[in-house]
Amino acid sequence: MHGALHGVEPARSPILVTSPVPWRQRLAIAVGCGLLAGLRAGLISETAVRPSDFSQVWFAARTLLAGQDPYAVIGPGRAFDWPAQLFYPLPAAVAAMPLAPFSAFWAPVIFALLAGGLFAWALAEHGYRPLLAFLSAPVVFAAEVVQWSPLLAAATVLTRLGVLFIAKPTIGEAMFAARPSWWAVAGAVLLLAVSFALEPHWITGWRAALATQREVHAHVYHIPHRSRVTRKALTRRAPNRRSRR
């Protein structure tokens, strides 16, 4: 019964039948999407009131290469003025070292370009339809503030990117649970080894930084030309907690 009924194969839904986009088109799509993500990050950077999310990790990488403690120079009123201290573990700074030589403008743009391109390549693994996700508000927002999420999401298809899970453990732990691989294990071991070699006591500084985090604030950002559905989704209030009791 599982596959045929009286010798007749059941019809398969076209939604469930997916195949990777041909590699030439896939490459073109990935490059195009990466360029769009990098362009968006660059345009936002020119008018932003504060650096991007990746900028603090970029600065931490430069500080580490200069032989200093990143956890002592990032935060409110410090060398890198940021609303909070550095909550990333030191392996994130080690992973960002290849972009350390670039300027404060170009490093986040290149990171957004790479993250966007790899995310698009991963989406194309299952055909053209998943690529619509690239136009979603979360992906646009991730490009604007230059977050790690598109890069880590791509690791669900491109398992070698799992080496970066340790850089963002809040997301990486869940991603590893969903897609465990030896690449993630090897990446964690390597990045941790380099981190301890460069800064043996970094965990103390990291824990001290995390101890200053008292609450998490959710921010709603304006997205130009958003649809009515997106506007409602962004402005919808959470249910009152008292009503749940």
Name which of 86, 85, 84 is nearest 217 in CA terms: 84
| Cβ atoms of residues 51 and 86 within 8 Å | no
Owner of token pair 């580490």? 64
Q: What is the pLDDT of residue 221?
A: 45
Q: How far apart are CA 167 and CA 90, in angstroms?
A: 8
> With the C-alpha atoms ordered 88, 91, 97, 98, is the resulting torsion angle positive or negative?
negative
SS3 84: coil
| CA 19 remoteness from chain centre | 25
Residues sharing a CB contact under 8 Å with residue 130, sequence separation 6 or more, in sequence order: 123, 124
Tens-digit pLDDT profile for residues 220-245? 444 444 444 434 434 444 444 444 44
Tens-digit pLDDT profile for residues 58-92? 999 999 999 999 999 999 999 999 999 999 999 99
Q: What is the pTM of this model?
A: 0.79
| Cβ atoms of residues 97 and 65 within 8 Å | yes
Name which of 108, 105, 50, 107 is nearest 80 in CA terms: 50
Q: How far apart are CA 55 and CA 49, in angstroms?
A: 13
Give me the long-range contacts of 155-164 (CB less than 8 A, separation at least 24).
155/122, 155/179, 155/184, 156/122, 157/121, 157/122, 157/123, 157/125, 158/118, 158/121, 158/122, 159/183, 159/184, 161/118, 162/187, 163/187, 163/188, 163/190, 163/191, 164/95
Q: Find the mean pLDDT for residues 108-121.
A: 97
Does residue 44 come out as left (phi exceeding 0), alpha (psi in the -120 to 50 range) or beta?
alpha
Q: What is the pLDDT of residue 236?
A: 41
Q: How far apart are CA 127 and CA 219, in angstroms?
A: 33
**Rg over CA atoms, the chain:** 21
User: What size, in residues, is the chain?
Assistant: 245
| CA 65 remoteness from chain centre | 23
Q: How far apart are CA 50 and CA 66, in angstroms?
A: 23
Tens-digit pLDDT profile for residues 165-186? 999 998 899 889 988 999 999 9
Span of 8-17, 59-68, 96-105, 189-198 with lowest mean pLDDT: 8-17
Portion of the chain with pLDDT greater than 70, in percent: 80
Q: What is the pLDDT of residue 214?
A: 65
Q: Find the mean pLDDT for residues 175-200.
A: 95
| CA 119 remoteness from chain centre | 10
Tens-digit pLDDT profile for residues 8-63? 444 444 444 478 899 999 999 999 999 999 999 999 988 887 899 999 999 999 99
